[in-house]
Amino acid sequence: MAKTALKAGSRFKSAVSDAQVMIVKAPAGEFELGCGGIAMVGGTAAAPEGVALAAGDAGEVLIGKRYVNADESLEMLCTKGGKGTLSLDGVALEIKQAKQLPSSD
């Protein structure tokens, strides 16, 4: 994928594994989302052929975890787990601390 605008609610899938994410919030502008070193694919687009997980990427995207960039201006949620490290413009994303439990429901 070329650089694209990221909007809250848009979904992306990994080109090299089962991983899928949904954008929770994103900064304005255009970016490239990656997984396993390869650009992720938007929504219903078909995955490119002949691509593979970057050698040496032992990362794994975990379902239910939220991932953020350094200043937390980008946040996305993994909706399906899979291999590969998530990245924004080539910089790896990190897992965000789990949400505090509610005090009641």
Partner 1 sequence: MATALTTNLAETFAKRLLNELGAQPLRDVRVDDSHPALIWARSGLMSLTGFADGAPLMCPLPVAACANGALAALASLAPEGALNDLNGAALLAERGAIAEHTRKGTTSPGGSCRLLKTRDGQIALNLARDDDQALLPAWLEDESVVDEASMLIAIQKQTMHDLVERGRLLGLAVAPVVPPPSAITPWHTVTHVGERAMRRASPRVLDLSSLWAGPLCTHLLQRCGADVIKVESTQRPDGARRGPPQFFDLLNARKRSVALDLSKETGRAQLCALIAQADIVIEASRPRALRQMNIHAEKLIDENPGLTWVSLNGYGRKDPEENWIAYGDDAGVAGGLSYLMREASGESVIVGDAIADPLTGLHAALAAFVCHRQGGGRLLSLALTDVVRHCVQFDRPTNAESLKQRQREWTELAQGNIGEPQMRAAPVQARELGADTVAVLASWGIAC
Task: Write out the two tokens for 16.
Answer: 């090299």
Q: Interface with partner 1 by CB under 8 A: which range of 3-11, 30-38, 39-47, 84-92?
A: 3-11
Binding of partner 1 at residue 99 (CB under 8 A)?
yes
Say how far apart CA 54 and CA 34 lie, in whole Å: 11
Residues 34-93 that bind partner 1 (CB under 8 A): 62-65, 75, 77, 79
At its nearest, how many Å lie between partner 1 and the CB of residue 37?
23
> Which residues make up the interface to partner 1 (CB under 8 A)?
7-10, 22-25, 62-65, 75, 77, 79, 97-105
